Amino acid sequence: MAANGPAAFRVTQHAVPGAATDPTTATPLFRPLTVRDVEFPNRISVSPMCTYSAQNGVATDFHLVHMGQFALRGVGLSVMEAAAVVPEGRISPWDLGLWSDDHVAPLKRIADFFRAHNGPKLGIQLAHAGRKASTLAPWMVKRGEKYMAGPEVGGFVDRVVAPSPVAWSEAMADPRELSVEEIQGLVQAFADAARRCDEAGLDVRTDDYGGSLENRMRFLVEIVEAVRGAWPASKPLFLRLSCTDWVEDSTWDIAAVIEVVKRVAPLGIDVVDCSSGGNAKHQKISLAPLYQVPFADQIKQAVPDVHVVAVGLITTAEEANEVVGEGKADIVMMARPFLRDSWVQSAAHTLGTEIAYVAQYERGRL
């Protein structure tokens, strides 16, 4: 044990939380994965979840406690919520940001907590909300009301921008169309945010994009090149893609996504997070358990040098283990199950794999 005052006190950990005691006999879900110089103790990841708890983009005590629990519980990779690269790129006025150096120290505090617990990795999602910016937190919206965040609560509806001047819905702000100069400014903003991620001590970063191949390929390629140039070569770079719009007349489908992945992989993308939807209000999503796993599987088969993440209604240990065991994805990412219980420990027990606990939780073994 070491301490320089209560805030610096740490119990020395002698094992990596969530790592299999014997990786050679562990089920697929609990086998380690190495990407570049980063080793993840298992294939379990927490998806980025908006918590609407930041102040002017700055992480608060809530973020330390919310994310810190996943380090203690042995999640292989915990990805913090979308952090906007510019103020007007926030989903809500209470989102995280990385447009200022003032945002680094509070994030470093969280990263230091993860590092002190000997293995679980921390990532963050860099993003720009586009036409879906300046909204209220879900609990602030009553049924039937608009969910735009106005200036009275710190909103910025007059500064919402997008690739085209088309609103997401009548309940949200009317965006202004971005100029070519502004697009170039955003490329630099992503690169600057990546640099701040490294200064904060994060292990992984990820971006969120979607849109048509013809209109968005160049923008995406420029951002990947800029971010990879600012992000250390020893650390993985994840890319989150929407693999279909779930719109009948859309040209954005898995075939287009595969072409995008083939283009950006040589530029330094290590892992593709395979999501879907969220680009059109009239989307019709066919929800079912594991409904997005086929996207990850198809990308993995088409671009085998890239690792893939499967997401979407993966809830049980058996489902997650099957996805990894059958080679459909390298990592499974979940969100809501982690808000309900200690999913990693329960999954290890269900699958018959012994894993390490943080020293303080050893007596809680099932």
pLDDT in tens, 292-327: 999 999 999 999 999 999 999 999 999 999 999 999
pLDDT attached to residue 2: 52
For residues 157 and 173, the answer to whether their CB atoms sit within 8 Å is yes
Q: What is the CATH number of the domain that holds 172?
A: 3.20.20.70
**Residue segments in the chain with a per-residue pLDDT below the cut of 70:** 1-7, 144, 207-216, 280, 366
Say if 13 falls within a structural domain.
Answer: no
Say if 6 falls within a structural domain.
Answer: no
For residue 181, what are its two tokens?
Answer: 């100069």
Say if 3 falls within a structural domain.
Answer: no
Find how far residue 257's CA is from the centre of its chain: 18
- Which pairs from 358-362 meet CB under 8 Å and 24+ separation? 358/11, 358/13, 358/17, 358/72, 358/74, 358/117, 359/11, 359/12, 359/13, 359/14, 360/11, 360/72, 361/72
Say if 51 falls within a structural domain.
Answer: yes
pLDDT one-digit tens code per residue, 2-27: 556 666 777 888 889 999 999 999 99
Say if 174 falls within a structural domain.
Answer: yes
Closest by CA to 329, choosing from 257, 261, 248, 274, is: 274
Say if 43 falls within a structural domain.
Answer: yes
Q: How many CA atoms lie within 13 A of 174 on its CB side?
A: 0
Closest by CA to 362, choosing from 14, 2, 3, 10, is: 14
Say if 4 falls within a structural domain.
Answer: no
Total domains in the chain come to 1
pLDDT attached to residue 210: 43
Say if 104 falls within a structural domain.
Answer: yes
Tell me which DSSP letter residue 59 carries. -
Q: Which domain holds residue 76?
A: 19-356
